[in-house]
Structure 1
Amino acid sequence: MLLNRLASTSRATAAEPARNAKITLLADCLRELGPEQIPAAVALLSGESRRLRIGVGYAALRELPPHAESATLGIRETEDALTALAAVHGKGAQAERARLLAELFGRATEEEQEFLRAVLVGELRQGALDAILGDAVAKAAGVPATAVRRALMFRGSARAVAAASLSGGAPALRAFGLELGRPVRPMLAASAPDVATALERISPAALEWKLDGIRVQVHRDGERISVFTRSLDEITARVPEVVDAARSLAVRSVVLDGEAIALGPDGRPRPFQVTAARTASRQDPDRLRTEVPLRVFFFDLLHLDGQDLIDRPAEQRWARLAEVVPEHLRVPHTVTGGAEPAGVFFRDALAHGHEGVVVKDPGAPYAAGRRGAGWIKVKPRHTLDLVVTAAEWGSGRRRGLLSNLHLAARNDGEADLEPWVMLGKTFKGLTDELLAWQTEQFLAREVSRDSYTVHVRPELVVEIAFDGLQHSPRYPAGLALRFARVLRYREDKPAAEADTITAVRGLAAEGL
């Protein structure tokens, strides 16, 4: 099968609002594949191919060769090309990567180029990628969707599960189970605006501090210990403190879910990027653990001494966790059905510098890889009214629309900064209607452009929600927004009333 079949299927799936129709489109495509094509196709459609760590971002995709007029690019050779890109390292890597990228895109049609661009930067808009695709695999193979989801939980690879489903059916899926040393997809949390709303969905509930670190899953099999991230990458050698904590437990085998975080001398969390940089660094871990020590806190137990606990109710898993993991290695935890004690616990988490809380159902099994009703995260929402100074053209479904916003605060007196101080970009939170409206508004305010970006008069104020601020040398004030998303445009507010850089620095000084 040629790549254009995947590209057209992806586009049609993105345009289809109904979940069942999305599943049917993907399933019909998968049925056409031969066994040798299924793994590559699923890796591309699920976004799993991004885990090849190809090292290609937005900048590398700005100047590409003209598209091919006819489709000749196959699915497997496309994945082979991406694998070759990922293998490029060392001296001259940038030039060689650019050559391979131009060669691949030069053979792709216009629709295929859009698809590949979305794959490489993680902007496939098909819906919840693995959830939708997993159900499509089940439909194509004629097996229960629950069996595919469970296999995905244990295997972690959509391509492997799809290949098993379509070649071996339900018996092949039953072969997947928890294996020590192979990461399980982590359970994810839905969101609620406040604790009271979360308690309307779950009560009585367990509440745990939500730490602003990196998710870690720790496997111990005798003396062999492995540590994995939320994206299932192994980082064992980079986090000796986590390894030591696992080794200190009086167990033979264990699988733990938790959070690694860098704390300051006062016990408060250091900025997220400090933790992220420490856990991403491949430098001398013994030196780094002295300079930026990590702490690990566990909140769930999936396996203990030969017994899988993943299907047990959460309260049973927590009880076993408390038996084998000392309190100083566990996330603070309470169980309540009352709004008042839950609110006190939430405020205490914030007072200690943490993000908020996760509200959990004591009766829920560990539903890996899904944002179900079993876990609900609650964080205070921070907002700023910022001015849009530029916008970048979108791709895929957003082609022809101005999408990625450049967000700036008003400079109220810092002599070394421009009048509008950029704090970051976002394309999150934009509906189709809002995209169309803002494109019209920006073009009416255009002052200059290049092939990628339209610069506009700083007149439109947008209300931005964000999770916090982090230090960043990329931006002029040394600060950047974390997880920024659009709430609404403030047509009632002139740019002169936008939030100032002084106000932003004040939030950063408060530890936001």
Structure 2
Amino acid sequence: MLLSSVVDATDSVAATSSRLAKVDALAALLRSLDADEVVPAVGFLVARPRQGRIGVGWRSLRSLQAGHVGAPVLTILDVDEALARLAVAEGPGSVAARRAALESLTARATDREWDFVSRVILGELRTGALEGVLLDAIARAAGADASAVRRAAMLSGDLGETARIALFGEPGELESVTLMVGRPVLPMLASTAGSATEALATVGGPASVEYKLDGARIQVHRDGDDVRVYTRSLADITHRVPEIVDAVRGLPGRRMILDGETLSLDEDGAPRPFQDTMSRFGSEMSATVALRPWFFDILHLDGRDLLDEPLGERLDALDRAVGAARMPGIVTDDPRAAERFARDALAAGHEGVMVKGIDDAYAAGRRGKSWLKVKPVLTFDLVVLGVEWGSGRRRGMLSNLHLGARDPDGAFGDAGGFVMVGKTFKGLTDELLRWQTAHFPQIETHRSEYAVHVRPETVVEIAIDGVQRSTRYPGGVALRFARVKGYRPDKRAAEADTIASLRELLRG
């Protein structure tokens, strides 16, 4: 199939706010693919090609000099093969080889196709083709049960392979996708609550109240001495965290899938700032700052899948599997006990607590009300849409951030887009000011008189005292006393908080 057919489908999806119309357009495209085109095409649709990051940035793409063809000739497989060559280019001469490969691809693409491919490479294809919409389209195209498609995607962590199985697999193959040690699973996600008492009331029964660390999410798979460590986005970082691998090899359980967090501790055993953990987490350098893992859930233990078991049973298995590496927590339905434990967590230097329904299964890849995070201040993960130049001491530095919340349904704009909800320059250290002054021009889309407007891909954690109604912003809500807690390089823009979650605070 020509790549232009994929571009046409994404344009159709971006042009409508109707979820049904989006599903119809994507299903029509999926039905017309050959079996070997499904995985790369799905990767293009969600701007996550199967090759992963290929080491090509915005500046490299912008500096290309090659022209474009007038009529479509590129196929899906042509682009997939070109990205594969780019992904493996390394060593002496690799820079020139990458540039030559990019210029060759550019010269074979139309203007529209190259714009599309560039955004796929950079991971910022804003069409409204969110994974949930695409999952529905896969089910529609294959005539498959939507719940079976969603579960297969959750358990495999691979949307493209799920689509291939649904469209071209043998009867029953979709339903046969199960947990597999060594294959990462989409993590369960949490909503927010204002207090431990409120969280207990929402859960509606006994709950596990656990420390909420200001660390990095990890998923660890162990099969004997073979240990693999994955991030929340399912990237394999085993080679970066040898201390976590060694710690897991010393645990009692021999074959297991663990869900947890990691952070670094200072000399007194107190948690270091999140930025210290992420600096170590994303580095391949030998550690002067060591990471320690804590585990709060287990999905498989020694031949037994636990995904659908109640949390209470999973915690019993977790105790047997990890011993002292379990996240500190209590099980209670007493709000006073939950609040005391929350105060203990804060006193120990942690963010707050997680409150989880003890009778609930593990909902891979989903955000519901059975897991609730409680922090002493409200924090939201928002996306930087633009940055204003500073004045006075900050003259010459990019300072005031334009903050956007995710609008997945297009209630206040384009589906899958972002809605501006406020600005802030508070909480920015000199180090962060220097960093963002260097960073944001690299992802610049255009400039106005006062601001640099950027691609919506940088996630920043913002603390607020609440929200207020606003006629200035299209979402009808503005942040109150917003301040920067830190950037979140471990999160994608698609994981940012939604405008709906901010608007819910208005009712409070």
Interval containing the TM-score (normalised by the shorter chain): 0.7 to 0.9
Is 471-480 or 34-43 further displaced after alignment?
Answer: 471-480
* Number of aligned residues: 447
Q: Deviations over 1:51-103 (max 9, x none)?
A: 52211233333345555432221111111111112122233433432332233
User: Percent identity of the aligned residues?
Assistant: 40
Counterpart mapping for 1:23-42 below 5 A: 23-42=23-42
Match of 2:350 in 1: 354
Given residue 270 of structure 1, which amino acid in structure 2 is its aligned partner? R
* Structure 1 residues 476 and 237, CA gap change in structure 2 (3 angstroms): closer
What is the rounded CA distance, in whole Å, between the counterparts of 2:55 and 2:112 in structure 1? 22
- Secondary structure of the residue that 1:429 maps to in structure 2? strand
Structure 1 residue 422 and structure 2 residue 419: aligned? Answer: no
8 Å CA contact 2:53–2:121 kept in 1: the answer is no
Give the counterpart letter for 2:398 in structure 1.
Answer: M
Deviations 1:318-364 (A, max 9, x none): 1221233223x122223344555444444443443333333322222
Q: Deviations over 1:172-211 (max 9, x none)?
A: 1133222222222222223446556544532233332222
Q: Is 1:308 paired with 2:308?
A: no
> Does 1:265 find its partner at 2:267?
yes
Matches within 5 A, 1:332-351: 332-337=328-333, 339-351=335-347
CA contact (8 A) 1:470 1:482 kept: no
The equivalent residue for 1:367 is: 363
Q: Contact 2:397 / 2:433 at 8 angstroms: preserved in 1?
A: no
Matched to 1:97, the amino acid is R
1:245-291 deviation line (CA, Å, top 9, x unaligned): 2222223312111112111123332233322232333344xxx2xx1
> Post-superposition, which runs of at least 4 consecutive aligned residues in structure 1 deviate over 6 A?
430-436, 465-470, 476-482, 485-492
- Structure 2 CA distance for partners of 1:228 and 1:477, relative to 1, 3 Å: closer
Stretches of structure 1 that go unaligned for 5 or more consecutive residues are 384-402, 412-416, 437-459, 493-498
Alpha-carbon spacing, 1:26–1:478, altered in 2? closer, same or farther (3 Å):
closer
* Contact 1:463-1:490 within 8 A present in 2 as well: no
Structure 2's unaligned 5+ residue stretches are: 415-419, 441-457, 474-479, 487-508
Q: Which amino acid aligns with 1:365?
A: A
Distance 2:361 2:72 in 1: 47
Match of 1:483 among 460, 466, 489: 460
Offset from partner CA, 1:299-321 (integer Å, 9 cap, x none): 00111111111110112101221
Alignment of 1:227-246 (within 5 A): 227-246=229-248
**Structure 1: distance between partners of 2:426 and 2:50:** 25
Letter aligned with residue 363 of structure 2: A
The within-5 A match list for 1:290-329 is 291-327=288-324, 329=325
1:44 is displaced (CA, Å) by: 1.2
Contact 2:51 2:87 in 1 (8 A): no
Distance change in 2, residues 1:217/1:424 (3 Å): farther
Q: Aligned-pair distance for 1:214?
A: 2.0
1:405 and 2:382 matched: no
In 2, the alpha carbon distance for the partners of 1:32 and 1:59 equals 35
User: What amino acid maps onto 2:327 in structure 1?
Assistant: V
In structure 2, the CA distance between the partners of 1:72 and 1:247, relative to structure 1 (3 Å rule), is same
CA distance in 1, matches of 2:68, 2:378: 43
The amino acid that maps onto 1:483 is: V
What's the TM-score, normalizing by structure 2? 0.76
- 3-state SS in 1 of match to 2:17: coil
Do the aligned residues in 1 keep the contact of 2:48 with 2:123 (CA within 8 Å)? no
Show CA shifts across 1:28-56 (max 9, x none).
Answer: 11001111211211121133317522112
